[in-house]
Amino acid sequence: MNPAIEIRDVWFGYDGPAILENVSLTVDQGEFLGIVGPNGSGKTTLLKLMLGLLEPGQGRVRVLGRAPSEARQAIGYVPQFAGFRRDFPISVQETVLLGRLGLAPAVGGYSKADREAAEWAMSEVEVIEFRKRPLSALSGGELQRVLIARALASEPQLLLLDEPTANIDLRVEKDIFDLLKQLNTRTTVVVVSHDIGFISRYVTRVACLNRTLVCHTTAEITGEVIAQLYGRPVRMVRHVAPAQGDRGP
């Protein structure tokens, strides 16, 4: 079986100093990998290389044994929440159906199979009751579930998520990662996150990226590892969602 992702000796820069330096990474099929690092460390750039949106200056990237551009239909992608326009006039169901683009015929609209896949994806992430609502009527957590459903509608073998819980409160963050853990029982998941302490409870390994990359098992994530990654001492905080009905301070 081919690895889900295989990156070997990759260098990349945007017409300037290298953002990624000699990065190597293998993600096995069925793994749940977290990618963490400070701002500007190359996390989103690495995802774009996996998606085939960028080409490495040196080195090689393979996804499911193929060039990323050839494997794109087998990848579900959830972009950063902050870059999404909430006021776009489109319903939840129409948004999720967008995940079938490239799979559906060029003419004739969506097929019965497309609509069934969208219904399944909405049911999986528990937003099917909202399917007729406009995106502008959703909460932040509901919108993130819709974006995950859109990615799932293509029935991917690999799910890539870029900061899926940015600007979302702790209770919703836990709900989203509980959902990703459930999806990981049948899909390889790679998630970029800013919160190393939180994701360590969910992922199989943590890839610490700051131009270069080092992978750790969750048991190896210590304050010293975090300080080396971020260049300064950073406290690990054990996040606990508030009890039902507890609004906090």
Number of folded domains that form the chain: 1
* Residue 192 resides in a domain: yes
Give the integer Cα–Cα distance in Å for 204 and 206: 7
Q: What CATH code is carried by the domain that includes residue 162?
A: 3.40.50.300
Strand (E) or helix (H) holding 147: helix 140-152
* Residue 127 resides in a domain: no
- What the block records as the tokens of 87 is 């006021």
* Residue 58 resides in a domain: yes
* Residue 246 resides in a domain: no
49 or 106: whose pLDDT is higher? 49
pLDDT band at 108; cut points 50, 70, 90: low
- What the block records as the tokens of 179 is 């959902």
Residues 139-165: what's their mean pLDDT? Answer: 91
Provide the residue range defining the domain that includes 221: 5-43+52-88+156-230
Q: With the C-alpha atoms ordered 200, 205, 209, 212, is the resulting torsion angle positive or negative? A: positive
* Residue 178 resides in a domain: yes
Look at residues 209, 175, 212 and name the one whose alpha carbon lies nearest to residue 190.
Answer: 209
Give the tens place of pLDDT for each residue, 126-142: 999 999 999 889 888 88
Numbers of helices and strands, H then E, in the chain: 8, 9
> Side by side, which strands form the sheet with 20-27?
20-27, 5-12, 58-63
What residue type is assigned to position 133 of the chain?
Answer: R
Whether the per-residue pLDDT at 143 is higher than 80: the answer is: yes
- What the block records as the tokens of 81 is 């929440």
Q: How far is CA 174 from the centre of its chain?
A: 15
* Residue 166 resides in a domain: yes
Give the integer Cα–Cα distance in Å for 122 and 150: 8
**Does residue 167 contact residue 81 with C-beta atoms inside 8 Å?**
yes
Look at residues 34, 83, 46, 23 and name the one whose alpha carbon lies nearest to residue 188.
Answer: 34
Whether the per-residue pLDDT at 234 is higher than 90: the answer is: no
* Residue 94 resides in a domain: no
Percentage of residues of the chain with pLDDT beyond 90: 55
Out of 16-20, 71-75, 85-89, 218-222, least confident range: 218-222
pLDDT band at 110; cut points 50, 70, 90: confident
* Residue 146 resides in a domain: no
